[in-house]
Structure 1
Amino acid sequence: MNKFKKSLLRIVMGLVLTVLISGQVLGIYHMTFVTLLDNIIYDTRMRLTMPSGVDDRIVILDIDEKALAHPDLGRWPWGHDKMARIIDTLFEHYKIKMLGYDIVWAEQDKSSGLDVLKKLATNELKSVPEYQRALNEITPQLDHESLFIKAMKDRPIVLGYYFNSNDDALESGSPGDSLLPEGSLEGYQNTMTQWKGFGANLPSFVSQIMLSGHFNPTVDLDGVIRRVPLLAEYKGEYFESLTLSMLRLWSGIESQNPPLTGRMPDRLPGTATVPDVDPSNSKSQVALEGLKVGSTLIPMDSSSNVLVPFRGPRGSFPYVSLSDVFNKSADPNLLKNKIILIGTTAPGLADNRSTPVGGVFPGVEVHANLLAGLLDAKTGAIKANPGFMVAAEFVILALTGLILSIVIAVSTPVVSSVLAIVIASTLSILNVAIWNSGFVMPLASTLLLIALIYIVNMAYGYLVEARSKRQFTELFGQYVPPELVAQMAENPEKYSMEGKKATLTVLFSDVVGFTSISEQLSPKDLAAFINEYLTDMSTVIRSNGGTLDKYIGDAIMAFWGAPVETEQHATSGVLSALMMQKALVKLRQSFKEKGWPNIKIGIGLSSGEMTVGDMGSKVRKAYTVMGDAVNLGSRLEGITRQYGVEILVAEETYKHCTGIVFREIDQVRVKGKENPIKIYQPVGIESEVDEHTHNLINRWDSSLIAYRSQKWDDCENYLNELINDDPQNGLYPIYLERVKLKKLEPIDPNWDGVTKFDTK
């Protein structure tokens, strides 16, 4: 719960991001960069899943450089007579099934000079019968427009044209009859472009052909064509696209008013089919999501856009130069019973577009790809993006945001990274599965949300929490070993500088005879002397998890058990004292080489309840300990010299230690205290103390029992033997001197064996 509360701000930030991105998904507002990112994902998915290969059902007749260089064709535009010849050749010689033009025939062909001849016939040569007769004979050959009309009449040909959205757009030519009359889309959500004009074919041509259709694509924000509108709204009527006209013609359906549907059948496996909705029976507007052509349902959006199912890169359909058709040199098998689209790739004429599968892509091949998809619509070639996908995307986004906002906020960076990658990968796989089921679900918003929540949390962790950790480290780092600070920084809320009661172990150390030493050294050497000594001793203390409290001249004060709690505080403190004495041996050698005085230190340790925390004045504070147990530790350090030992520990410290061999030294009553305490000398780590030392300790214990029993002779004998066997130990002579003095006094039946110290 504490971790949750600590991370509440990060959780809220994640949820806010989720709400913001949800606005994009629900269409409340649009963020351009998200749309562009979705386009990139869509294009990548398209390229990875497109079938590739060549679809020879549709052949593109190319007005290419070869055709423009043909001596009988020449530069563009060609005469209508030449196109009439090409049409006749296609249907009569090559037996094609259908022809569509990605070209507009908006201008009359006056290249034959027939208009001039007719003008002469009504003026200068009006009275010349021979001229009139000759003109009548050659008129059928020179009337190129009539030749073109005759070639197109009663043949499955679709002419293309375009709409214009400019405010100053004009109406040129004739677009033919609309597919749907005005009012056909009442009750549907309609977001189609409102066109202002058009550039279409000559009315005389349109009147003779079966169908015509616009070839306007939908260009996305990045300039890429991914969709083509099947319908174009103009003055309330709805005109079909070139590819839709060709599909209807190919399907043998020339009747107008194809039924519209407001719902797409659900193609997800294992689900029921949603019935079509009749908007006339609906009280609210229905999303325009499909158009039926016969039994084929074509999915589209409310702007009537259809996603172009690109088969592959440029060249996914056969290309034949129109010059080869004109010469009848093209392969008949390539064209027989095929759908033909006429377009151009020639420089200067090229209708090149940017598509998901190529930056320079012939516009005519865009229509070929869409027409192929429409022909295969029953097999799901056209991807659908119905309205329920918005709801599905929103649910996924909301769940993702909720999960990530909570989990990442309370997790480590490693767990957060793994979780973000796993969720992003899972959603990507799910998205591909939905794509393969025939639907398109945008993915960018969800991936962006994952990235933002991850980045915001990592940035927050670095900028805010890392700063807090640095401050925490700076606060405790001067007292506590780095490894403990790192451990504490993982859960800083567990640690506080505020004062509290705790059972700890405190250590005091002091250099014996430091005043004399300081008099022997220059100020520079004295500073170096004390710095080197304090550094080595502090290193030992920190290596055992000790908290450095302070330096008082040559004295060191440290403690264990705070701020990091440990049950081994006494053992760690005593081990540090033993290691400090060992480190002092090496330090003496270093000092000797530098000509510095020999050094000895006394160490006192005490355990018990103390007050620990940040204490001091407004000017300066320190993380320190206070209490009777602290004072006792200081006093024990002071009396080490009176027992000839280097380390003394209080009874409570002795009781809390494990794995260390001790020698009981005495019972003492320090100043200000009535109750006596036992004091001990740590001899060494249990595994390192040999049998001889254990024997010495046992014999010492015997002498101590004799001493407290006032058996002075027995005690004196024990001590003399110990001095002989362990002459370096300063404790025995001190007790021997005590015994000699006691022997001069009468036996005191009230003596408790306690040594009293009246000074600190």
Structure 2
Amino acid sequence: MSARGTGSFIKRGWRNVREAGSQRLALTAVLLLAALLLARFSWSLPGIADAEAYLFDGRSYDTAEQVEQDQRILMVVYTDQTLMNLQKRSPLDRGLLAEALRNLDSMDAKAIGIDILFDQPQQEDAELIETLRAMQTPVSVAYAAMATNEDDIIFEQQQYLENFLGQLEGSNARPASIRLDNTSGVTRIWPSIEPGLPPVLGRTMLTDAGEGDRIMPGYTGAIRYRLPAVEGAPVITSLPIDLFADREMVPLMAEQAAGKYVLIGGDLLDFDRVDTTFSATGDEGLTQSTVPGLQVHAEMIAQMLDGRELPKPAPVILWLLAGFVVLAATLSALLEWRDWKVYPLLGAQFALFLGLPYLLQANGVDTYGFPAFGLVVGWIIAFTAVTSAARASGAVQRNFAQGALGKYLPREMAQEIIENPELLALHGEKKSIYVLFSDLEGFTKMSHAMEPEMVAKLLNRYLEMLSQVVLDHGGVIDKFVGDAVVAFWGAPIAKPGDGERAARAGYAIWQAGEAFRAEVAAMDTKLPKIGKTRVGLHYGEAVVGNFGGRSRIQYTALGDSMNTAARLEAANKALESSVMASREFADRTPLDWWRPMGRITLRGRAQPVNIMEPAPDFPEDDRKVLIQAMILADSGGAEAEILVRQLISRHPDDKALGNLLYRLQNLSGGNTYVLG
């Protein structure tokens, strides 16, 4: 598709949207704004934020670095077996902790961090305080406040904790925040830096160890979790605290702690465990469903040591991306492509929306807060808004077109042509059709005796009544010629029953004409008397289609069948009838109301025509007599006249029968009557 072709599609689509109306345009603008805001702030919206977080977890896991066991960090933990040995579960035994700290102090660790809140008095507290004050190795002791850890501590506990930590002033032990960010129940990002709180545990430990230049100050982005290179192997070494509390094990354990950041806390099944980025998406062989909070602190320390402060896209980038999504959806909707070309375009856009966050994550960019699902949903809303506006415009145009066509075609046929416009292609094709031609007797002469306004009023009313008859019977209005109505059946779409519908329409046209006469007579007695409506019906071939060129076309039928129907209509005057059909027409209908009315040669025609008159109220026995009379008339027998006289005696007011007798008495060669 060339750029010029694409541009023309877009212009046409935009024109359709504009034609939807001001209210629809306003609604579309609101939806586009909603799509923009959703794409930008999807991480803040209920429901959508959960989907964003799930996608973030998935791409974090898929792009996570696989590493060998980290030799820089050691976790010394209370295990469930430890508590069983101590026969004490809560709070954690502080005597054991004091003994382990004294031994660790001799093992040349870089720094020690304790992820245990000393918020309740225990009998070992004096021993523990003395041990902490005597430590040569810097120790970071867990601190929490009600304002930031309301689920972990109450007022009395905080008071005791602060008193406990106050007794350590002047020593190598100082408080450190153990607060984690558990937004939505999952620890994905670093905790925010809150006024009044000491630095987070890992930052305090690195500062005390002389590596304060690596603490990533101010960073609150995603935690870089890692996966083990060897399945089943831990990323961070974890050893039971029992081993470090046993003085005999000091020589063996010294190598494990030397030069490392040592974290002390619990690794218990029912205590201080958190969900992480890997919890819902990780392979159970590589990750656990939940991990101890201590391990999260260990991962943050490793992230600082590796200098992996993940950059975040600037807000302006997210705004530009949201705007691009809305623009892409809008242009896609305006293209109005109806073939396969649209699918690669849509597929490429969705691949970009979902693939871009993966690409950024794989290249070390923090995509927590970067929209992915929101881009897709925003695109769908924008695309739907524009396409619905275009459809609304199409519906307006469709209703207008259907209304316009509906003035000349039956509603069902108009609908089919709108859906299949090729049915009205600019060409003609030969078809066999049922033609109706009607005329109002004496209207031209009568119109000279009336005001033009009254003429227009009466003519519009008359044509409205007759047009409705044609449409109600499934016909196509070909044209109006003054007060004459020309219609046909069998094109552009031929349907079973067209002949019967055309015949009934012809008879109903005459009835509508009689109703019009009565209506005008009741309207104003001073108006000239309205003549009767005459109808001619014929079946034959015609060339049907759009004629007149592309600038001005008319859908019409051309051919001898049209002329024959017109002459049959005109013949009614001489035949003293109202509706007359050719035998070609009558024989193609299933109706039993036809009565034969002889053979005539129409004015300007060489070939005679057998004519049939619709007479639904004519007795069936008399109809049989009339049929017998016409058979006899073909052989030139006088018996035909006798039978017709009998019928006239029974129907003295039937002028058409009287006219038939006159014609039988004045036949020309070929047993036909030639109209003068």
User: What's the TM-score once normalised by structure 2's chain length?
Assistant: 0.53
| Cα shift readout 1:141-163 (whole Å, capped 9, x = no counterpart) | xxx9999574585879535899x
Is contact 1:258–1:292 with CA below 8 Å preserved after alignment?
A: no
Q: Kindly provide the amino acid, as one letter, of the partner of residue 726 in structure 1.
A: H
2:550 is equivalent to residue 545 of structure 1: no
Query: Which residues of 2 match residues 203-218 of structure 1 at below 5 A?
Result: 206=208, 216=218, 218=220
Counterpart of 1:649?
581
Cα distance in 2, alignment partners of residues 671 and 250 from structure 1: 125
Are residues 1:512 and 2:441 paired?
A: yes
- Change in 2 beyond 3 A, CA 1:509/1:87: closer
Structure 1 CA distance for aligned equivalents of residues 481 and 474 of structure 2: 21
> Would you say the 8 A contact 1:650–1:679 is kept in 2?
yes
* Superimposed CA distance per residue, residues 548-585 of structure 1 (whole angstroms, 9 cap, x where no aligned partner): 22222221112223334323332222111111222233
The residue aligned with 2:143 is 101
Secondary structure of residue in 1 paired with 2:433: strand
Aligned equivalent of 2:388: 458
The residue that corresponds to 1:532 in the other structure is: 461
Corresponding residue number in structure 2 for 1:489: 418
Write the deviation string for residues 171-193 of structure 1: whole angstroms up to 9, x where unpaired.
xxx989989xxxxxxxxxxxxxx
Compared CA separation, residues 275 and 703, structure 1 to 2 (3 A): same
The answer to whether 1:499 aligns with 2:416 is no
Alignment of 1:164-563 (within 5 A): 206=208, 216=218, 218=220, 256=260, 273=285, 442-463=372-393, 465-466=394-395, 469=398, 472-473=401-402, 476-563=405-492
Deviations 1:714-739 (CA, angstroms, capped at 9, x unpaired):
22321222112122222221122234
On the 8 A contact 1:472/1:492 being kept in 2, the answer is no
For structure 1, the 5+ residue unaligned runs are 1-7, 14-30, 50-56, 59-85, 104-143, 163-173, 180-199, 220-226, 232-243, 277-289, 307-396, 412-426, 428-439, 743-747
Q: Distance in 2 between matches of 1:710 and 1:512?
A: 34
Deviation at 1:660, TM superposition (A): 5.0
Q: What is the 5 A alignment of 1:72-151?
A: 100-101=142-143, 148=166, 150=168
Alignment of 1:651-666 (within 5 A): 651-666=583-598
Distance of aligned partners of 1:475 and 1:177 in 2 relative to their CA distance in 1, 3 Å threshold: closer
**Stretch moving more, 550-559 or 447-456:** 447-456
Measured at CA, do residues 717 and 38 of structure 1 come closer, stay the same or move farther in structure 2, by a change above 3 Å?
same
What are the Cα deviations for residues 163-212 of structure 1, in whole angstroms up to 9, with x where unaligned? xxxxxxxxxxx989989xxxxxxxxxxxxxxxxxxxx7998xx479xxx9
Matched, 1:622 2:554: yes
Of residues 472-481 and 661-670 in structure 1, the stretch that sits farther from structure 2 once superposed is: 472-481
Encode CA deviations 1:270-316: one digit per residue, 9 max, x unaligned: x784699xxxxxxxxxxxxx99977999799999799xxxxxxxxxx
Compared with structure 1, are the counterparts of its residues 626 and 524 closer, same or farther at alpha carbon in structure 2 (3 Å cutoff)? same
Structure 2 Cα separation of the partners of residues 175 and 675 of structure 1:
113
Q: Relative to structure 1, is the Cα distance of residues 552 and 218 closer, same or farther in structure 2, using a 3 angstrom cutoff?
A: same
* Cα distance change of structure 1 residues 640 and 213 upon mapping to structure 2, 3 Å threshold: same
- Residue 565 to residue 250, structure 1, CA distance change in 2 (3 Å): farther
Partner deviation per Cα, 1:494-534 (whole Å, 9 max, x = no partner): 43353322222221111123344335444443333322222
Residue 736 of structure 1 pairs with residue 661 of structure 2: yes
1:513/1:228 Cα in 2 relative to 1: closer, same or farther (>3 Å)?
Answer: same
CA contact under 8 A between 1:217 and 1:229: conserved in structure 2? no
> SS of the residue aligned with 1:446?
helix
2:643 matches 1:752: no
Conservation of the 8 A alpha-carbon contact between 1:160 and 1:215: no
Determine the structure 2 residue equivalent to 1:583: 512
Q: Given the superposition, is the C-alpha separation of residues 677 and 736 from structure 1 closer, same or farther in structure 2, using an over 3 Å criterion?
A: closer
Shift of the 646–451 alpha-carbon distance from structure 1 to 2, 3 Å rule, reads same
The CA deviation string for residues 533-554 of structure 1, in whole angstroms up to 9 with x for no partner, is 2221112112112222222222
Q: Deviations over 1:575-608 (max 9, x none)?
A: 1111122223322221221223142111011222
2:42, 2:48 within 8 Å by CA — same for their partners in 1?
Answer: no
Amino acid of the structure 1 residue aligned with 2:477: L
What residue ranges of structure 2 are gaps of 5+ in the alignment? Answer: 1-7, 14-35, 55-89, 92-116, 130-139, 146-161, 181-197, 227-235, 245-255, 264-275, 311-324, 340-353, 355-369
Deviation string 1:219-273 (CA, Å, 9 cap, x unpaired) is 7xxxxxxx56789xxxxxxxxxxxx9x99999999773799xxx9979669x784
The offset of 1:710, in angstroms, is 2.0
User: What is the rounded CA distance, in whole Å, between the counterparts of 2:240 and 2:175 in structure 1?
Assistant: 12
Structure-1 separation of matches of 2:408 and 2:532: 25
Taking the aligned partners of 1:730 and 1:146, their CA distance within structure 2 comes to 127
Matched residue, 1:37: 42
Deviation digits for residues 99-136 of structure 1 (CA, Å, limit 9, x no counterpart) = 52369xxxxxxxxxxxxxxxxxxxxxxxxxxxxxxxxx
CA distance change for structure 1 residues 578 and 46 in 2, over 3 Å: closer, same or farther? Answer: closer
Distance 1:659 1:451, change over 3 A: farther
What's the CA shift for 1:757? Answer: 4.3
**Matched residue, 1:350:** none
Change in CA separation of 1:160 and 1:519 when aligned onto 2, cut-off 3 Å: closer
Residue 703 of structure 1 is matched in structure 2 by 629
Amino acid at match of 2:220: T
Match of 1:608 among 531, 535, 540: 540
Tell me what 1:158 maps to: 176
In 1, Cα distance between the equivalents of 2:47 and 2:601?
87
Cα separation, 2, equivalents of 1:534 and 1:482: 18
Counterpart contact for 2:514–2:533, Cα < 8 Å: no
What is the match of residue 646 of structure 2?
Answer: 721
CA–CA distance in 2 between the matches of 1:175 and 1:248? 27
Root mean square deviation of aligned Cα? 5.8
Q: Go from structure 1 to structure 2 and tell me whether the alpha carbon gap of 1:504 and 1:740 turns closer, same or farther (over 3 Å shift).
A: closer
The DSSP-based 3-state class of the residue aligned with 1:639 is helix
Q: How many residues align?
A: 449
Q: Write the letter of the residue equivalent to 1:462.
A: A
- Cα distance between partner residues in 2 of 1:147 and 1:521: 113
Residue 545 of structure 2 aligns to a residue whose secondary structure is strand
Instruction: Tell me which amino acid in the other structure corresponds to 1:589.
Output: A
CA distance, structure 1, for counterparts of residue 647 and residue 636 of structure 2: 18
Letter of the 1:658 counterpart:
P
- Cα distance between partner residues in 2 of 1:602 and 1:251: 118
Q: 1:474 to 1:175 in 2, by over 3 A?
A: closer
Partner amino acid for 1:643?
A: L
Pairwise CA distance, 1:481: 3.7
Inter-CA distance 161–757: structure 2 relative to 1 (3 Å threshold): closer
SS of equivalent residue, structure 1 residue 218: coil
CA distance in 1, matches of 2:507, 2:655: 17
Q: 1:534–1:554: 8 Å Cα contact kept in structure 2?
A: yes
Amino acid at match of 2:442: G
Q: Percent identity?
A: 19
Decide whether aligned partners of structure 1 residues 576 and 34 sit closer, same or farther in structure 2, where only a CA change above 3 A counts. same
Counterpart Cα distance in 1 of 2:379 and 2:421: 30
Which residue type is aligned with residue 476 of structure 1? L
- Select the structure with the greater relative contact order (CA < 8 A; seq sep ≥ 6): 2
Provide the rounded CA distance (Å) in 2 between the counterparts of 1:615 and 1:735: 41
